[in-house]
A and B are shown apart, each in its own frame.
Chain A
């Protein structure tokens, strides 16, 4: 029942660093703003997905984090799409887009609410975008916490994996509010699966300590 779980891949996107599987890549470009940053990263990763440009900032960041996390892994081939769960947490929910949407309704003489903005005033749209991109159809949960809470992430993921509601999970923290942002994502798999795919190791136990250690890497 209580399977041992492992982090098999991780990806962190911050203003001045991208950390892939705990390897730090410094970004020497001068940070101008989120919009130019995320576009440059999208181009650098050579991803072709026109829907990216329609997304709000939270979805852009989390989408790109998931792309980089899954790149060069066989994760999506290893599981049926119904077996993959997604658990994402952040602090400000969709407040970044809520504020943008609110600008479109607060002035009655300049009133232009748009469904394409309003739809992003829900944080789980990010999960929907990742699911659409990779045809992932398993369990979803979006949680809100004042800071990255490894204990709560583990609790939620274990509820899915221990009882076979999912066989593997994409999980973590994706936060955007104005020019402040951070994406920290992990792939979590069961011991019985990973031995076959990672004979040389390269994974960490899915514990609060490992999550903190990966998260604190600068």
Chain B
């Protein structure tokens, strides 16, 4: 990239907490966020899920509402919109109001948005138009005062990485100086029943790359990253390359060879101007389905990264869908700032055909360049490279 694209702010909301330090502190202590739920309005069979505490979320949202928009009413915001607002509010605290000029943009990444509005119990929500992703994004954008209309990216499980890639490219091209990327998805009966119909869900918390892995675990959450050509944090981390590819093979199954994800990794490294050997850590997609993890291991081998330390953060808070790429990028950036690689929760014994270097214990080590990868339905793959200055 020609222009620097710095990380200027961030926030993670998951079952583990409402700020990045809170969530990362729990990860560092080895705490995982799943609880077994047997709530029939959510899931027909008991499942481990990583859910955000609604009472705490509402409390935080009310404080922000009183502070920013005392004239507005809480009942005009959906649960996901509240989560986005709480996340963005925390992420922009050091950079606003510089973010709301004509040189700034908000990108929203979500797969299903306010899909819970289709439920019988939500029929009385004041404005059914919030079912449209662009409407949800407009509500969030105007809450903070972004002048430009938000861009919405909905590209299955690569949405978050694709949104970050798009944001970095926009800054690089000089279209904007600051881009706020917020990714979020909720768990609802809609999403859970769908993954159950695929028989893709594990009855126990997911075990990415493990021999005993038995499917993915779902989580909900929101992540916000502020990218900027001007502002940066004390440990300066920047986006140095990104790429997206398609398998052109199957709409719901990953590539058998992993070549296409490997191609995305290769293209991203090329743009970053580094060799695979210069990557300190890979934050894998690692959903813990048999096919995803196997494909990913092959891709990492093709890309020359089979010996590089790798983890999947999904062992801590599950697959957060449209939020995953953003949340897991933030956790990766924390690893870079703290020179600390995190254990891959749920992993004991390698269960993919390429013996990847899956992280077993937290490691204090210099962390310089990192790779975040993602793959999703529709055959899409994405890779993004972060560099510490």
Residues of A within 8 A of B (CB): 81-82, 86, 91-93, 95, 98-99, 101-102, 105-106, 111, 113-115, 118-119, 121-129, 131-132, 134-146, 152, 155-156, 158-159, 162-163, 165
Contacts and interface: CB of A to CB of B under 8 A. Distances in A.
A122 B158 CA distance: 12
19 contacts: A91-B132, A93-B113, A93-B132, A93-B154, A105-B189, A113-B197, A119-B252, A121-B112, A121-B194, A122-B378, A128-B377, A141-B166, A141-B244, A143-B151, A143-B152, A144-B133, A144-B154, A156-B166, A165-B244
Interface in B109-156: 111-113, 115, 118-120, 131-135, 137, 151-156
A142 B154 contact: yes
Most buried by A among B153, B193, B246, B249: B246
Given A113-B194, A115-B198, 7 more contacts: A101-B190, A102-B190, A124-B156, A125-B377, A128-B380, A132-B379, A144-B134
Interface string B205-249: 000000000000000000000000000000000000001111111
Given A124-B380, A146-B134, A146-B135, A131 B194 contact: no
Contacts of A135: 248
Contacts of B112: 98, 121
Contacts of B378: 122, 124-128, 140
A34 B193 CA distance: 28
A118 to B, nearest CB: 4
Contacts of A124: 154-156, 376-378, 380
Interface of B: 44, 111-113, 115, 118-120, 131-135, 137, 151-156, 162, 166, 169-170, 172-173, 175, 189-190, 193-198, 243-252, 260, 263, 267, 376-380
A165 to B, nearest CB: 7
A102 B118 contact: yes
Contact of A143 (B111, B153, B251): B153
B133 A93 contact: yes
A91 B134 contact: yes
A152 B162 CA distance: 16
A128 B246 contact: yes
A140 B190 CA distance: 25
Nearest to A102: B118
B155 A131 contact: no
Contacts of A118: 193-195, 197-198
B187 to A, nearest CB: 14
A63 B59 CA distance: 46
Given A128-B246, A162-B173, A142 B153 contact: yes
Contacts of A105: 189-190, 193
A90 B244 CA distance: 20
Contacts of B135: 146
Question: SS class of chain A's interface: helix, strand, loop or mixed?
Answer: mixed
Given A102-B118, A128-B251, A82 B156 contact: no
Contacts of A86: 246
Contacts of A121: 112, 190, 194
B379 A138 contact: no
Contacts of A101: 190, 194
Contacts of B263: 82, 137
B197 A163 contact: no
B249 A132 contact: yes
A102 B155 CA distance: 20
A136 to B, nearest CB: 6
A106 B120 contact: yes
A123 B115 CA distance: 14
A136 B246 contact: yes
Nearest to A95: B131
B175 A155 contact: yes
